[in-house]
Amino acid sequence: MPEVIINGPAGRLEARYHHNNITDSPIAILLHPHPQFGGTMNNQIVYNLYYNYVARGFSVLRFNFRSVGRSQGVFDNGPGELADAASCLDWLQTQNPDSRTCWIAGASFGAWIAMQLLMRRPEIDGFISVAPPANLYDFSFLAPCPSSGLIVNGEADRVAPCQSVEDLVSRLKTQKGIVITHDVLKGANHFFEGQMDALMGSMNAYLDSRLGVTTPLKIESDG
């Protein structure tokens, strides 16, 4: 899992990248939770999902937003982080110019940024949004949501209450031609403590249904 440095709009961005040597392999970019509340690219949700994409033949990138880890810059409360994500997606596409499909995923604050990038980049075919903080940030820009995807949240989430996510999903389901799958994990909090296996199970089942995977996959990691 090579460490890479990407030139972002506010300086260098620290990232981890897995490259699939198949020319037209799909690509995915992953966005971590809030930088000012301990969110990094090594967040367990992002880390595990990274390897689940790897197991499905993706070239995958996860990175630290500006001000996190060895990434340069100062936290910008959204606009700068969106610019970081766009730069990283540009880099990922440069490494994979013949990729046949593009996915994005984000957790909490990263889900908000991911959905904004989704609206700006028509080449993104699918998304996974984990615990989107619909009570804290405005998601009204999803009108209409341009791609089908999965929104998953915890029933016992006190940071992004379940009702706020349900309200968001109910609005998105009205968009023509777009299928939004919503999964609520019983007893799970915002961090999915003790529920990581259930969360990964939900996301893997969705990925496999969208990608047409029918056999078990071996997930590799660096430990």
Residues 124-138 have pLDDT tens digits of 999 999 999 999 999
Q: Is the pLDDT of residue 216 over 90?
A: no
Residue 113, phi-psi category: left (phi > 0), alpha (psi -120 to 50), beta (remainder): alpha
Please give the average per-residue pLDDT across 195-212, as a whole number: 96
Q: Taking a C-beta distance cutoff of 8 angstroms, is the pair 81, 88 a contact?
A: no
**Angstrom distance (rounded) from CA 170 to CA 150:** 13
Q: Is the pLDDT of residue 223 over 50?
A: no
Residues 72-118 have pLDDT tens digits of 999 999 999 999 999 999 999 999 999 999 999 999 999 999 999 99
Tokens of 51: 């390897």
Q: What CATH superfamily classification does 3-206 receive?
A: Alpha/Beta hydrolase fold, catalytic domain (3.40.50.1820)
pLDDT of residue 175: 78
